[in-house]
């Protein structure tokens, strides 16, 4: 997950997002909750610029938040 999840108050209203994109972590998690696969999320139908590692980073980020662990995000340059 290092350097995949970023936070910047000037990007996505400060919400955690995939570094280098404007794709918010919750968007990816909502697709997973709706039953979409990693492959579907990374397809032309949703987010073709994402990798399966980006999707996994969203899950890891959410897991750490739930477990009250340090999420270790980076500050994304605006």
Tell me, what CATH number does 65's domain have?
A: 1.10.10.10
**Model confidence at 78, in pLDDT bands (50, 70, 90)?**
low
CB neighbour burial string for 14-33, b if at least 16 within 10 angstroms, e if fewer? eebbbbeeebbbebbeebbe
pLDDT (mean) for 54-61: 96
Alpha-carbon Rg for the chain, nearest whole angstrom, is 12
- Full residue range of the structural domain in which residue 65 is found: 5-75
- Residues 67, 21, 45, 30, Cα dihedral to 10°: 20
Q: Judge contact between 78 and 22, C-beta under 8 A.
A: no
Between 3 and 1, whose confidence is greater?
3
Record the pTM. 0.84
The total number of structural domains that make up the chain = 1
Tell me what the pLDDT averaged over the chain comes to. Answer: 91
Residue 64 predicted with pLDDT over 60 = yes
pLDDT at 2: 61
- The three-class DSSP label of residue 6 is strand
The pLDDT value recorded for residue 3 is 82
């Amino acid at each position: 997950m290092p350097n995949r999840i970023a936070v910047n108050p000037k990007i996505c209203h400060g919400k955690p997002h995939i570094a280098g994109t404007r794709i918010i972590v919750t968007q990816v998690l909502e697709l997973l909750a709706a039953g979409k696969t990693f492959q579907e999320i990374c397809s032309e139908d949703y987010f073709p610029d994402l990798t399966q590692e980006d999707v996994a980073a969203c899950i890891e980020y959410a897991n750490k938040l739930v477990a009250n662990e340090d999420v270790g995000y980076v500050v994304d340059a605006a």
